[in-house]
């Protein structure tokens, strides 16, 4: 069992992009690759040496990932090999889902996707920001930055789910709501505000999962749920560390300090009771094992839905409102 795990681990690491702090892993992987090649070429059995190295690799990965600082986690959350919303939906529904388009007012926002899908024969409305995986697609998806029509499309789909009494799952992965000229003309602020207000009162169960970046109002705009969960290596805050640095220190050099100061990791957000739970990622991060990450998310969704389905709509709405109303720390009350 252990060997299979280790092998699977080594295979999937190959094509990936390595972050700066992952360089030791890159070197180990390259060594393993060389050994495997020479084993094939020369026909000599060196499987023990390979296994030993793979063990070292696993240990090293554990070590690196157990000690990530907040800025490193921000980097992992933006890793280009991380699964994005559509990947999660495809995996979770086994491809049994129908994408729905448009806000019925202006256009179809490509940065926000959604539709009904089946999860263990249960119909669920999936919604989320979508990033692209090539330069062209990244532009097509506007880097996961939705316009007002994206938030209104999301709301249209949520109302649709509510009408047919289907639970809602949102995947949050955005560097922010798009700060463009037309976004302002079409009321970016109003679109997000309306979503906060309406999501608060949805009668069906709502689960929100931060799968990558959770930047500010753009994230919160689809982030009001009965359960708000963060994947282990994601961030969620009022501003990105870079922007925070540029505003408070007038340059980007303090992004590492800002990342720590903002307390934006899943662990910090959970400790501060600003989210409801953390979903563990596979060893080495979701980008190293996308399928495993999707499977873990699916398991969590099923677990949470089972709990939420036991409550009445009124209980869910009341709990949801009370939860968000309890957030904040003041002196003198």
Partner 1 sequence: MSWFKRIKTGITTKNKEKKEIPEGLWYKCPECNNVMTSEQHADNEWICSKCEYHEKIGSREYFAIFFDDNAYEEIAADLISGDPLGFIDTKPYDGRIRSTISKTGLKDAMRVAKGEIEEQKAVIACMDFAFIGGSMGSVVGEKFAMGVDEAIHHNCAFICISKSGGARMMEAGYSLMQMAKTSAKLTQLSNHGLPYISILTDPTTGGVTASFAMLGDINIAEPKALIGFAGPRVVKETIGKDLPKGFQSSEFVLEHGFLDYIVSRKEMKKKVALSLRMFAPDFVEVKHSEKQGK
Q: Which residues bind partner 1 (CB under 8 A)?
A: 177-181, 183-190, 192-194, 196-197, 200-201, 216-217, 220-221, 223-224, 236-239, 244, 247-249, 254, 258, 261-264, 268-269, 272, 274, 320-321, 324-325, 327-333
Whole-angstrom distance, CA of residue 99 vs CA of residue 48: 48
Pair 157, 114: CB distance under 8 Å? yes
Cβ proximity to partner 1, 48 vs 333, nearer residue: 333
Cβ proximity to partner 1, 98 vs 327, nearer residue: 327
Cβ proximity to partner 1, 53 vs 264, nearer residue: 264
Cβ proximity to partner 1, 38 vs 140, nearer residue: 140
Whole-angstrom distance, CA of residue 244 vs CA of residue 263: 12
Shortest distance, position 195 Cβ to partner 1, whole Å? 9
3-state secondary structure of 248: helix
Whole-angstrom distance, CA of residue 130 vs CA of residue 203: 26
Which DSSP symbol is given to 79? -
Beta carbons within 8 Å of 200's beta carbon, 6+ residues apart: 224, 317, 320, 321, 324
Cβ proximity to partner 1, 196 vs 302, nearer residue: 196
Which whole-number Å values give the CA distances from 177 to 21, 167, 189, in the listed order? Answer: 29, 24, 9
Residue 250's Cβ-count burial label (10 Å; 0-12, 13-18, 19+) is exposed
Shortest distance, position 197 Cβ to partner 1, whole Å? 5
CB atoms < 10 A from the CB of 273, how many? 10
Shortest distance, position 181 Cβ to partner 1, whole Å? 5
Strand-strand pairing, 97-99 and 112-119: antiparallel
Cβ proximity to partner 1, 29 vs 129, nearer residue: 129
Shortest distance, position 106 Cβ to partner 1, whole Å? 12
Cβ proximity to partner 1, 165 vs 319, nearer residue: 319
Which DSSP symbol is given to 187? T
Shortest distance, position 82 Cβ to partner 1, whole Å? 21
Whole-angstrom distance, CA of residue 65 vs CA of residue 85: 23
Shortest distance, position 178 Cβ to partner 1, whole Å? 8
Among the listed residues 106, 155, 156, 99, the one whose alpha carbon sits nearest the alpha carbon of residue 130: 99
Which DSSP symbol is given to 76? H
Strand partners, 129: 112
Shortest distance, position 76 Cβ to partner 1, whole Å? 19
Shortest distance, position 230 Cβ to partner 1, whole Å? 11
Cβ proximity to partner 1, 266 vs 288, nearer residue: 266
């Amino acid at each position: 069992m252990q060997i299979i795990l280790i092998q699977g681990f080594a295979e999937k690491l190959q094509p990936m992009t390595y972050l700066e702090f992952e360089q030791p892993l890159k070197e180990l992987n390259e060594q393993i690759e060389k050994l495997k090649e020479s084993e094939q070429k020369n026909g000599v059995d060196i499987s023990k040496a390979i296994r030993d190295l793979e063990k070292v690799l696993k240990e090293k990965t554990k070590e690196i990932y157990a000690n990530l600082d907040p800025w490193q986690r921000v980097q992992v959350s933006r890793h280009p090999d991380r699964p994005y919303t559509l990947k999660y939906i495809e995996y979770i529904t086994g491809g049994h889902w129908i994408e729905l388009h448009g806000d019925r007012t202006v256009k179809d926002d490509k940065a926000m996707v959604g539709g009904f899908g089946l999860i263990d024969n249960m119909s669920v409305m999936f919604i989320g920001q979508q990033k692209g995986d090539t330069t062209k697609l990244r532009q097509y998806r506007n880097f996961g930055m939705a316009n007002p029509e994206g938030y209104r499309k999301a709301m249209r789909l949520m109302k649709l789910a509510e009408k047919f009494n289907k639970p809602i799952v949102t995947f949050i992965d955005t560097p922010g709501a798009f700060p463009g000229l037309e976004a302002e003309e079409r009321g970016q602020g109003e679109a997000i505000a309306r979503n906060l207000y309406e999501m608060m009162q949805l009668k069906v169960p709502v689960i929100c999962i931060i799968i990558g970046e959770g930047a500010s109002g753009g994230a919160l705009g689809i982030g009001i749920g009965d359960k708000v969960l963060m994947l282990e290596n994601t961030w969620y805050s009022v501003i990105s560390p870079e922007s925070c640095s540029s505003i408070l220190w007038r340059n980007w050099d303090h992004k590492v300090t800002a990342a720590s100061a903002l307390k934006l990791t899943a662990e910090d957000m959970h400790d501060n009771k600003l989210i409801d739970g953390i979903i563990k990622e596979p060893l080495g991060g979701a980008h190293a094992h996308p399928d495993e990450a999707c499977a873990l998310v699916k398991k969590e969704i099923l677990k949470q839905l089972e709990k939420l389905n036991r409550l009445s709509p009124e209980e869910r709405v009341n709990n949801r409102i009370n939860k968000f109303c309890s957030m904040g720390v003041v002196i003198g009350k």
